[in-house]
Structure 1
Amino acid sequence: MMDGDGTTGTPRTAGMMLRSAREGQGLTLSDIAQRTRIPLRHLEAVEDSKFQALPSTTYAMGFGRAYARAIGVDETEVARALRAELAANYQRPEPLQDLEPIDARRGPSGGLVAAAAAIAIVVLLVVGVFFGTSLFREDEPAAPAATVAGDLGMLPAATPTAAPGGATVPVAAPASGGQVTLTATGPVWVRIFDDTGTLVNKEMAANERYDVPETARNPQIRTGRPDLLTVTLNGSNVPPLGTAERAITVGISADAIRSRATPAPTPSPAG
């Protein structure tokens, strides 16, 4: 149960608990922002219970927990208070309404119908020209059909080459692909995304692991504490993604991680 605020007997909010502990330690919100890498305006929103200023309830919980850890307050108690406040007070933004009500009896305007018809005619002409000219290009080699492996960025199969005596020797493809795994050594907020959108947006708990999908297209990670993530490629450790000094956004595909693990060639001395 949360204590009263000492004057009115109303329950203390999570923001009141955090502000009281911070001021008791002689710290400013700027000090907390520097410790947690959380923007100052978001810390102010947590202290003032202005959760509508935050991107979502998930962010509110994550920021509150990080704030509590930074000043040594019971993280569980703060989280419990935040859940109660969010359940009672948080309201999702209202969807935008059309400025003009739609009249179901009113059909599309004549100009719109004419424009749509013109576009359809142009499309048909382009398709007809394309396929018509293709029929007369029989002497040209056909383009190779797309494959699932090509779409996913996988290497093609090894191509055999001729060896002396007419025998063929398969050419080995260079090493590529592999399983990238991220393991949290402590609570750390991460956003993992690729060209298709967000894959993960959460606070990973200590010892929690995440296997980056091998089919992800250009996967990347955004985090403020890269030092709290252990990275492995096919089970082998690779150098950390960064340090605690600053937030990062880096690629975490197998090729990107392999390039981090491979030292750059040292130039030969002149002479």
Structure 2
Amino acid sequence: MEEEPLVEEETHAPALTVGERLQAARRAKGIELSQIAAETRIPQRHLVAIENSDYAQLPSRTYAIGFTRTYARVLELEERELLDQLRAELGDDRSRLNTAPARFEPGDPARVPSRKLAWFGALAAVLLLVGGFAFYRTYFAPGLGPAPLQEERAPVIAEVDRTPSTDGTPAIDPDVEVVFTSEMNDTWVKFYDASGERLYEAQMAQGESYTIPADAEGPQVWTGRPYALAITIDGRPVPKLSEEDEIVRDVPVTAEALLARSEPSATPGSDASTGDLTVN
């Protein structure tokens, strides 16, 4: 009876894990693990854990997959096939996973803000601060705005019809129009009569005008931008209340009072008829 020849059983080497394949590819290219960490911004301890298939050292399954994908790209390996194998490994051995809640890791390239995004955030913060400061200056402190960059011009005194009064002194036509026009945006101004009753109050836009009512008793003005208000009497310009960056308050704005301010001998605050110049 002939003996059958013995058939040698084929032995197959165990398949390499994902971590072992990454390690082998890295060594074949002569790359140190520290280089991979520097290029991918993944902590080196996490790369060691991946190569050792010790996924419990990683924050979560998501990190294991994300880090492995980035590692494979640096080594120019086929990502999809490696990730399929990794998912199979993670599914077969749940003990490899870290079940603790995920936390932010500086080395995770998917979660680290880009430099462009960081600059954008800083710029947005600066713009927010500037906008808030400008709003405060305009709304809560209207007199703190900068003086306008305008060329100084010599005041022009309006030629207003002065009807002689009964005592022989010139008088102003009571029907003459006094108009204030804002030359800047957001010019806060308040007009009120002698009793303190408000006639008009607003943040005037550039080009916006207000005409003093002819029947107003002792109209006065309060503003933080006297230099921004152009004044005309019966269509003719007169000097502004002030060319300085200051707050003026309780200044009479009748045609007679404004013309009195324009006289060479009249100076702000020198006579009760010209009103008080209050600087805060």
- TM-score bucket of the superposed structures, by smaller chain: 0.3 to 0.5
TM-score (norm 2): 0.36
Higher radius of gyration, 1 or 2: 2
TM-score (norm 1): 0.38
